Chain A
Amino acid sequence: KQEVTQIPAALSVPEGENLVLNCSFTDSAIYNLQWFRQDPGKGLTSLLLIQSSQREQTSGRLNASLDKSSGRSTLYIAASQPGDSATYLCAVPPGGGSQGNLIFGKGTKLSVKP
């Protein structure tokens, strides 16, 4: 059974710092991996989708990498801003090459202090 773990559960950094959020999954035979952002009391917003054949995806100050063999992904945020404060979740399909529904980690709650 696919399990997704995100470390750390919470992170507080001063504005301007570069930071890395981690996501690990137990079944490395995934179809792709997605990173989402959730603001307090709001729905999720898709940030990046990495296909299994890709090693990384970039969007603005965000860079997500994928290492399938080790079952890991990282979300790198450059020059963090207070507006980046939110919970970041990663999600993968069930594994075994399945195209089934996503399984989410519990998220990393990021706080960027001005």
Chain B
Amino acid sequence: SQTIHQWPATLVQPVGSPLSLECTVEGTSNPNLYWYRQAAGRGLQLLFYSVGIGQISSEVPQNLSASRPQDRQFILSSKKLLLSDSGFYLCAWSPGRAAKNIQYFGAGTRLSVL
């Protein structure tokens, strides 16, 4: 069966520090991968998605970047965190294009930038 792992579960970082969140998927190959952010009072916002190794699409301009160094690994990074980067970050995968397939989500990372 397929599983998705996301870590860390919680993170408290000072403004200006770097960030690295990791997501890995097991039990499938060539998944579509997604990073979302869920801020308080706001909906789920798609940040990045990837249809293959090294292929990253950004949905919104921001202080963050994403990379996919391996087929089932998706990393969200920042060189210098801002207060506005605080939120709940969710990784997800789907077996194909998002509109045609169910998306499966990780447990999320709660990021607090102080």
Contact = CB atoms under 8 A, between A and B. Distances in A.
A45 B107 CA distance: 10
A78 to B, nearest CB: 23
Contact of B104 (A32, A46, A91, A106): A46
B83 interface: no
A102 B103 contact: yes
Interface in B43-59: 43-44, 46, 49, 59
A104 B43 contact: yes
B106 interface: yes
Given A104-B44, A105-B43, A45 B105 contact: yes
A42 B108 contact: yes
A43 interface: yes
A36 B6 CA distance: 19
Contacts of B99: 31-32, 93, 98-102
Interface residues of B, number: 23
Nearest to A51: B100
Contacts of A105: 43
Most buried by B among A49, A93, A101, A105: A101
A42 B107 contact: yes
A91 B34 CA distance: 15
Nearest to B101: A49
A34 B98 CA distance: 11
Contacts of A107: 43
17 contacts: A4-B43, A31-B99, A36-B105, A43-B90, A43-B92, A43-B105, A43-B106, A44-B44, A46-B103, A93-B98, A98-B99, A99-B97, A99-B100, A100-B99, A101-B49, A105-B43, A107-B43
Interface of A: 4, 31-32, 34, 36, 41-46, 49, 89, 91, 93, 98-102, 104-107
